[in-house]
Chain A
Amino acid sequence: MRRQFKDTVTDLAGHDDRVVVILGDISHYLFSAFQEKHPSRFYNMGICENALISVSAGLSAQGFHPFVHTIAPFITERSLEQIKLDMCYNEFGGNILSCGSSFDYAWDGATHHCYGDLAILRLLPGMEVIQPGSRKEMDVLLRSQYNNGRPTYFKLSDHPHAIDVDVRFGKGVVIKDAASPLTVVTAGPLLANVLEACKDLSVNVLYFPTIKPIDKELIARYRDTRFLVVHDGFGLREAINEVPGLNTAYHGVPDAFCVWYGTVHDIRREIGLDPAGIHSVVQQAAASRR
């Protein structure tokens, strides 16, 4: 997905001289062609995430479209106040694209995990919060949102799903409608595991590449069903509950640090987000009457 980010942004920069890339000393090599083509619009600015956001806000205030990029926890959790005040409160805007997703850097441990970003950023007035699940979704959503002057967050992963979904900003997608009393909801690359888990189960599956604004219309269409949010992060369930009166349950990240290493697949298996783990939770939920 990072490669897609680079491809899309390089293409946009060719047509739009207001596109500026700001890196927090990550993905530098990936952007070497961009740097060669647009040296004055490429800054590997340093490991200083607070400044990266404030500077992006200042660029945005003067008409540029900054793309600020580094590892998810550092650019979102560490710089939350800069995003809140410099981009949102000041209405300066900017594009924030993180890498690492929730557990891509499993081997690096809990300092590099990030599953709170969607939840905290959706609290900020004016913020757009997006979790593309594939390269195609990344490309479509970035092109549609990058120059609207609003602060927009893209949570990228190096482990995209391979499912072809047509996405539009602000719209959820019905992946499967089984006229079931149980609706499974997910977002991002985890869709692959959710679909694999649900292939033999008679449940509805909804998919939300945009967390904020959430597609309330689609949710309301399923309001008479029970919702089970299956997600490797926080924020999606909270967004779903913007529609009042829903019956929602959550299967995902525990209230504990994930202290194992290995790969994203190891972490997902450990917390029950591998296909087998999801299957058993969904099956149980489908069997329960409540």
Chain B
Amino acid sequence: MHPDCKKIRHDILIASRASGHGHIPTSFSIVEMLYATYRSMKHDPANPRSPDRDIFILSKGHGALGLYCVLANAGYFPVEEVKTFGAYLSKYGCHPDRRKVPGVEASTGSLGHGIGIAVGMALAFKLQRSPRRVFTLIGDGEANEGSTWEAIMVAVNVGLPNLTILLDFNKSQVRSLQIPNPAERLKAFGCDVHDVGGHDVAELLAALQAPARGVKAIVANTIKGYGCRTMEENIFEWHRKSPDAAQYDALLRELDAEGAAA
């Protein structure tokens, strides 16, 4: 595990324990994707509204805790603040609000919305002949929503090589509507597909930085809860849960052991 990504997972656990709010496994599955994306993007944490910045939209808004910790790691705000996650007057809701959190470009939460907004922004940059790019991260649960596929069809038809869709394929839908082989589906929809290991920063960076041949779709094969075996093996129990003191210690130990093994 990349040391920065391990640190971010630590921050996620600390904030979840302090705040009493969860969505840890979904946040853990996207840490490397977020980390690699922000490393590939043109952005300036000191000036979050800089007019030539690239855009990232977390379409699966329930990964907010992961996004906050990645933004904090990049320097947008102190990670201490994220401990207020979900509290009454906190800026850091369990789904992100663009009007409150620096670096958040769209308020999301209901699935299948952020990707459509991302398509509109990418189209805007195309019309402006701007080099700005748009990245959006969707979940495999979110791939159940029809509006997700509407947005992909429109993006491909309009022609947006400045758009990258990252799919967190963490198999969260095994008991519901699991989309088998999403890489083939995205290819069939006309995307330029990269099928990569979702916890391998180098692989993700290579896919993110490869020249675009149309709408780029990166299928990141991830493990929900990656880094803590207890969560990996009990994804439904942990989907939306904050650890108690004993669980917290155990999860930290598992995470540290994972780091040592890597």
User: Which residues of A come within 8 Å of B, CB atoms?
Assistant: 20, 40-41, 43, 45-46, 48, 50-51, 53-64, 66, 81-82, 85-86, 89-92
Contact = CB atoms under 8 A, between A and B. Distances in A.
Contacts, number: 94
B107 A55 contact: no
A82 B110 CA distance: 9
Q: How large is the interface on B (under 10, 10 to 19, 20 to 34, 35 or more residues)?
A: 20 to 34
B116 A51 contact: yes
Contacts of B158: 43, 45
27 contacts: A46-B154, A50-B112, A51-B116, A51-B147, A51-B150, A51-B151, A51-B153, A51-B154, A54-B115, A54-B116, A54-B120, A55-B117, A55-B120, A55-B154, A57-B116, A57-B117, A57-B120, A58-B118, A58-B120, A59-B127, A61-B117, A62-B120, A66-B120, A82-B113, A85-B110, A90-B106, A90-B107
Contacts of A41: 127
B119 interface: yes
Q: Which 5 A-B pairs have the closest CB atoms?
A: A58-B120, A54-B116, A62-B124, A51-B150, A55-B120
A50 B120 CA distance: 12
B99 A63 contact: no
Interface in B98-139: 98-99, 106-107, 109-110, 112-113, 115-125, 127-128
Given A46-B154, A46-B157, A64-B127, A54 B110 contact: no
Nearest to B115: A54
Majority-rule SS of B interface residues: helix
A58 B121 contact: yes
Contacts of A20: 127
Nearest to A40: B127
A81 to B, nearest CB: 6
A66 B109 CA distance: 24
Contacts of B121: 58-59, 61-62
B123 A58 contact: yes
